[in-house]
Copies of this chain bind each other. A is one copy, B any other.
Amino acid sequence: MSKESKDKQFVTEITPQGEDFSRWYIDVIKKADLMDYSPVRGCIVFKPDGYEIWEHIQEELDRRFKETGHRNAYFPLFIPESFFQKEKEHVEGFNPELPWVTEAAGEKLEERLAIRPTSETMFGHMYSKWIQSYRDLPVKINQWANVVRWEKRTLPFLRTSEFLWQEGHTAHETEAEAREETMQMLDIYQDFVENYLAIPVIKGQKTPSEKFAGAVDTFSIEAMMKDGRAVQAGTSHYMGTNFAEAFEIQYLNRENTLEYAHTTSWGVSTRLIGSLIMVHGDDRGLVLPPKVAPTQVIMIPIGPPKTRDAVVGRTDELYRELKAAGIRVRVDDNPDVRPGWKFNEYEMRGVPVRLEIGPRDMENGVCVLVSRITGEKKVVEQANLVQEVQAMLEQVHQEMYNRAKQFREDHFYSVDTLDEMKASMEEKRGFTLAGWCGSEACEDTVKQETGATSRNIPFEPGETKTKCLVCGDDAKHTVLFARAY
């Protein structure tokens, strides 16, 4: 409680979103104690409330990965320099961001070791040893790990030099099976992000210039932040036989001839934490999706000193009931802090549901639940508390999703020309559909002139554009453009 009592004003210190969204973001994550800057450039400390969000993300995704036949493993942090040379696009894509270990235990290394920015090469090397026959396939392994990309501009959670993620790497007999895996994982990401983090996303395929370095096809889910910018919330790649050829992942097929395996990879990272903050937060602070909130319910006993012991006693009983039902609940019964101050504090921290209980509530066998997202107050019977709390948590989730979806619809545009795109990006901000001829030059022009990049080619764009917004030629694709984090 000490940090809070030092500064009872800090809720009002959060910069309003409308004034400066980036400052709002930094204010909120610092004040809500999710992270701190570290002494190492671009690396943050994930503090307990920030890290716990990641733990809940991990639990649920891990469950879904295992349910679909994947197993976890752990591969080395270090990747020999020569590995990066084996896949041409891969080295070009990642080389500019690699940190290098050149000395160890007082001696210069013969070969420099990169800190992994991703592990396709290491998995490729090992898979080539493990896979001999079609009977060894598929191999479906996931890894939870830290990775490092020495980024020039960093932003806590969204782009840090070191971050946490999972990377799935699979190898298959056929293209069809590998593509099915690629899509299955993209679907799992979409379902998870929408139904667990309450973030609606747009599924689609990356354009060649935006795909993963070394992939044949990259697919993504794209989410809209409250400043209209996009975050790529998850990606799934079909690698074809590129890495199999580079690392000689060959197997004897059913006809007893050697073939290259088809591989995939897919990942989400701690940038999901940044995303859910930017999608749901408001001027009062965080709004955390109930399914990943470290504290789902904060219980605040209220009333004068003379009834205090009785109220706190009853609060503790109800606390145990909620906890036994698997609800993540905390009690703040600090007598030195006014309830009103606590209300602000836990709103700022994004706790989905507040439970108030006072002496009159005690007499009536009720208490009051307050929704963080709508502010709605509901008097509920203590006898039904578990169900009432679960119902309100579910309502909060649903309302968060609906609002995020409405916000995205309100900031979703469609343009025909580059000038319209410029106006769209500068005045309205948001996601903007446009036709594209397929040439990298036109895509690059959009980027240079408007700051927007192609996010993906949506599977369900809603409408079909017929002309390229830059050159006016026939459009090959209807593309989603946005400025992005």
User: Which A residues contact B (CB, under 8 angstroms)?
Assistant: 1-3, 5, 36, 38-40, 43-48, 50-52, 54-55, 71-80, 83, 96-106, 113, 115, 122, 125-126, 129-130, 132-133, 135-136, 141, 145-146, 148, 150, 152, 162, 164
Contacts and interface: CB of A to CB of B under 8 A. Distances in A.
Contact of A74 (B51, B96, B136): B51
A34 to B, nearest CB: 10
23 contacts: A2-B133, A39-B80, A39-B83, A40-B78, A40-B79, A40-B113, A43-B76, A45-B74, A45-B75, A48-B73, A50-B73, A51-B72, A51-B74, A74-B164, A96-B106, A98-B104, A98-B105, A99-B101, A99-B103, A99-B105, A100-B101, A100-B104, A104-B150
Contacts of A164: 74
Contact of A96 (B54, B105, B145): B105
A95 to B, nearest CB: 8
B45 A73 contact: yes
A100 B5 CA distance: 42
B162 A77 contact: yes
A308 B141 CA distance: 32
Nearest to A107: B150
A103 B100 contact: yes
- Tell me how many chains of this kind the complex includes: 2
Nearest to A55: B72
Contact of A102 (B50, B78, B100): B100
Contact of A97 (B71, B105, B122): B105
B77 A38 contact: no
B99 A38 contact: no
A122 B38 contact: yes
A46 B74 CA distance: 5
A395 B113 CA distance: 47
Nearest to A146: B77
Most buried by B among A47, A78, A145: A78
Contacts of A102: 100-103
B78 A162 contact: yes
A73 B46 contact: yes
Contacts of A2: 132-133, 135-136
Nearest to A76: B43
A132 B46 CA distance: 20
Nearest to A78: B40
Contacts of A97: 105
Contacts of A1: 135
A73 B106 CA distance: 31
Most buried by B among A45, A115, A146: A45
B101 A45 contact: no
Contacts of A83: 39
A73 B294 CA distance: 13
Most buried by B among A5, A43, A99, A152: A99
A379 B481 CA distance: 66
A136 B83 CA distance: 47
Nearest to A294: B71
Contacts of A39: 80, 83, 122, 125
A53 to B, nearest CB: 11
Contacts of A130: 36
A136 B101 contact: no
Nearest to A115: B101
Contact of A40 (B74, B76, B103, B162): B76
Nearest to A164: B74
Given A2-B133, A51-B74, A162-B76, A126 B45 contact: yes
A51 B108 CA distance: 31
Most buried by B among A77, A103, A146: A77
A72 B53 CA distance: 11
A166 to B, nearest CB: 13
Nearest to A251: B2
Contacts of A133: 2
Contact of A71 (B38, B48, B146): B48
A204 to B, nearest CB: 30
Contacts of A76: 38, 40, 43-45, 162
A67 to B, nearest CB: 12
Contact of A78 (B43, B100, B106): B43
Contacts of A96: 105-106
Contacts of A146: 77, 145-146
B104 A99 contact: yes
